[in-house]
Amino acid sequence: MDRLFHKFLRARKIPSTACSGCGLGQVHKRVLLALERLDLGPDDVVWGTGIGCAGRQTFNTWRGDNFAGTHGRVYAIAAGLRVALGPGKKIVLTAGDGDAFGIGLKHLLNCARRNVDMTVVVADNLGYQSTGGQFGITTPRGSVTDSSPYGLNEPGWLGGGLDVLEILKAAGATYLARHLSLDGASSVESLVMALENPGFSLVHFIYPCVTHFGAVTLGERDKGKILGSFRAMFAGGGKGGPTDRDDGRGGETDGGGRKDPGPQAGSGPVSGDPAFRLKRGTYHDGRGLRPEFAASLIAWTKNVREGAGR
């Protein structure tokens, strides 16, 4: 990280204020490695964020231009910046699961619909960890958290036949991928593809919160064991799309054709929850298949002005 630190980050913002062992640093490093692969530096990238751990530890350390939006609104701000900046600048946004898939989902979907050229990196720690460890909209069913002491009894965006990436694909996103923060070269490759895409890209990283998810949900405080348990939970994942699908009869299957019985009260994380077996890697690749928003708007405006002048 030393090479990347001197090349990309502000010295006064290091070391990070993240908890020791937090997987967010892994996500941050993957993004920097992808930027380095593309020979992009602080002058080439504007880095933005919403609110929460994912933003505070990433955009705030960036040596180049950066900005913070209100909760869930950074995507709308970035859409305006895309028009103002022109194609020479890359826009990278880091946000948490709540900012992207909760309060900001409407703005995120509209950016996908417009195919705005930006790369959104969602750092998902499977709950609202920075506010005490409450369950969120990506927390696996059955998980014991501060706000679900008997186990979470509802599906989120990653289980029960649902996948938020499928919604983004339907909305018009032109590149989508999913990884664990523990994934190495494959996750950097996905980020490179996202950054090269002249349109809306999103890479979803799931990472372990060692403070709340580890201690409360996994019942473990040893950081090495938490990381091992986290990797084991997703051991069934591989390249491709999601494994869970509606069985066509109004119920969900567990990815192997069996009925998903749902969580049992007090059972802890349910190993059969499809969220634990999400496929990793590129989810959807439609790069270059749709016009980019800002370029189209600028060309259309030019035509209108030339028509009005005749």
Render pLDDT for 230-255 as a digit per residue (tens, 0 to 9): 888 776 555 443 333 333 333 333 33
Render pLDDT for 110-165 as a digit per residue (tens, 0 to 9): 999 999 999 999 999 999 988 888 999 999 888 898 899 999 988 889 877 789 99
Q: Are 290 and 278 in contact (CB under 8 A)?
A: no
- Which of 146, 143, 145 is closest to 159 using CA atoms? 143
- Which of 84, 198, 173, 161 is closest to 122 using CA atoms? 173
173 pLDDT band, cuts 50/70/90, is very high
- Which of 68, 85, 76 is closest to 113 using CA atoms? 76
Q: Are 289 and 175 in contact (CB under 8 A)?
A: no
Q: Which long-range contacts (CB under 8 A, 24 or more apart) does 34-40 make?
A: 34/188, 34/191, 34/192, 34/194, 34/195, 35/8, 35/92, 35/195, 36/4, 36/7, 36/8, 37/188, 37/192, 38/192, 38/195, 38/196, 40/90, 40/195
Q: Which of 2-11, 97-106, 147-156, 261-270 has the highest mean pLDDT?
A: 97-106
User: Prior bond to 15 cis, omega within 30?
Assistant: yes
Q: Considering all CA atoms of the chain, what is the largest pairwise distance in Å, rounded to the nearest integer?
A: 73
Domain ranges of the chain: 2-7+20-309
The topology under which CATH files domain 2-7+20-309 is Rossmann fold (3.40.50)
- Which of 203, 204, 195 is closest to 87 using CA atoms? 195
Q: Write the CB contacts of 86 (distance below 8 Å, at least 6 apart in sequence).
A: 294
Helices (H), 2-121: 2-8, 24-37, 53-56, 74-85, 97-98, 105-114
pLDDT score at 19: 83
Render pLDDT for 213-232 as a digit per residue (tens, 0 to 9): 888 988 888 888 888 888 88
pTM to 2 decimals? 0.87
- Which of 131, 115, 26, 22 is closest to 71 using CA atoms? 131
Q: What's the chain's average pLDDT? A: 84
DSSP secondary structure code for residue 274 in this structure:
G
pLDDT score at 238: 54
Q: Greater confidence, 149 or 258?
A: 149
- CA dist., res. 111 & res. 172, Å (int): 9
pLDDT score at 269: 53
